[in-house]
Structure 1
């Protein structure tokens, strides 16, 4: 069997004795900003370099690891399609999804949860609520997942706070699961939490689980978005506003990555009880609702 990009990269990093942090610093010294989390994803085969900046980084890695030019570049496959029905390995790199992805890869590796292609999110339902001041308050999340391999015991979730928030978000489990290990990265304001299922899943088994995210916002916000390296097959987003603080207009949007422009999915009518919703049937890595006060 021929070696993959991740196989060769991992072997050469081991041979060199470099840490991912050192490679990150070497790349930064040459003007390329690639997070440790993305390097970790590349090394583990979770995703492959695709952006122009990522491909430039691979060329520098060849030099730093004393490899012949093209050794790693030649192992990268064609760009993977975005949008609906991503296959087992079509997962976006963290630096493409979060503008500040520091620590995400290390946290996910530390938690040791299932790889993104081991657990298929068939349906994700978020009910996001704001308080009277227009600040994010809570998000109730309900997941329907299916194991694509045998031995899945947990599901890892990642949520990131806004820059002005007082703290990273907190995760509270629903009745179908329990919270295991939690990793918080204060600088990038994200929380990664391990949700323990009520049983070990075999390939093809499904599970329903729920949890609540508590936010610690200081200021009114103008959007809510969900970021998932492997998009769900169906995503339902509800946003509930305080009836005393209704926005003037709302629209749904999607993005292929954090650096891409938002693409409108249409205006949303605010209901009589100050709520809106949108069903994303062709889910993308980033989906959300934006509003104006």
Structure 2
């Protein structure tokens, strides 16, 4: 069983003690609170209120947090007096079985070897909770850069480092330029001999314990000798709460066709997209993964 976070236990105790004192000072019952919460659209069971008061549980999720905000009003507390004491969630959420979002055994082997070369477990104990990947496309129709911002969560143990890879299946390419924007520093880079897998290892600003989260942001840029790419995407090995691709085209190079490609263990799905006067497209998946989400585009008839 993972060790409990002492700070989280302290927050839970402070929350329950403050709630209990406020209920006593207001001289009201849990039934009275439950009825008024329900009447204002924040239903919470009497048992849940009892758990919160005793410290056996603490509020989790947006509905519970909304109820706590209303409790502050009902108990005549200052705004944030209870919310500020809840502390970070200890729920990891649904994970599913981690898998490589790859269809080729050869590429999967190259990915595993790259992880090992970076000094990472083949399946590290972290997951992307929420990822926004923004790709800039130049006037020649090729990718210039991709900036990725991720909420990273530890699923077990302690995380101090996390690897990320860039894949170009069936197309050997030079290594792109990995740059850390915020949240850590790059300690190692590695390119697989096939030229189809390039990776980096990020040292986080602070260690993450079970269920804790942090934010990191990094950028990929492509050198002049890099072959022109008209594809971009992001892959996750575990279930993610949301994945967003935002691909922004140069106004002088709007593609004649665009498609979104979703590769999961259940198969591959392809859907057409249309700019309809815009210069960018986006793709969102919620509670999704493992899988790869891609945008592809071109400037002539599709084969």
What's the TM-score once normalised by structure 2's chain length? 0.59
Alpha-carbon shift at residue 185 of structure 1 (Å): 1.4
Q: Does 2:248 correspond to 1:243? A: no
Q: Is the 8 A contact 2:185 2:202 kept in 1?
A: yes
For residues 73-130 of structure 1, give each alpha carbon's deviation from its aligned partner in whole angstroms, at most 9, with x where no partner exists.
xxxxxxxxxxx9542xx12247636763453212212333366462121101100112
- Structure showing greater Rg: 2
Secondary structure of 1:143's match?
Answer: strand
Q: Does 2:274 correspond to 1:263? A: no
Secondary structure of 2:107's match?
Answer: coil
- The residue correspondences of 1:8-23 to structure 2 (distance < 5 A) are none
The 1-side partners of 2:286 and 2:277 are apart by 21
Match of 1:154 among 161, 166, 175: 161
Secondary structure of 1:187's match?
Answer: coil
Match of 1:138 among 138, 145, 170: 145
Alpha-carbon shift at residue 239 of structure 1 (Å): 0.6
Gaps of 5+ in 1: 1-83
216-225 vs 238-247, which moves further: 216-225
The corresponding residue for 2:185 is 178
Match of 2:235 among 217, 227, 246: 227
Total equivalences in the alignment: 205
Q: Does 2:210 correspond to 1:203? A: yes
Q: Does 2:175 correspond to 1:168? A: yes
Secondary structure of 1:142's match?
Answer: strand
Q: Is the 8 A contact 2:137 2:143 kept in 1?
A: yes
Secondary structure of 1:233's match?
Answer: strand
Q: Is the 8 A contact 2:234 2:293 kept in 1?
A: yes
The 2-side partners of 1:116 and 1:102 are apart by 13
Gaps of 5+ in 2: 1-92
Secondary structure of 2:116's match?
Answer: helix
The 2-side partners of 1:171 and 1:125 are apart by 17
What's the TM-score once normalised by structure 1's chain length? 0.61
Match of 2:281 among 265, 276, 284: 276
Pair 1:136–1:186, CA change in 2 (3 A): farther
Pair 1:261–1:194, CA change in 2 (3 A): same
The 1-side partners of 2:182 and 2:100 are apart by 32
RMSD (Å), alpha carbons: 2.8
Q: Is the 8 A contact 1:252 1:268 kept in 2?
A: no
Q: Is the 8 A contact 1:160 1:168 kept in 2?
A: no
Match of 2:296 among 278, 290, 293: 290
Alpha-carbon shift at residue 219 of structure 1 (Å): 4.9
Q: Is the 8 A contact 2:143 2:230 kept in 1?
A: no
Alpha-carbon shift at residue 275 of structure 1 (Å): 1.2
Q: Does 2:127 correspond to 1:112? A: no
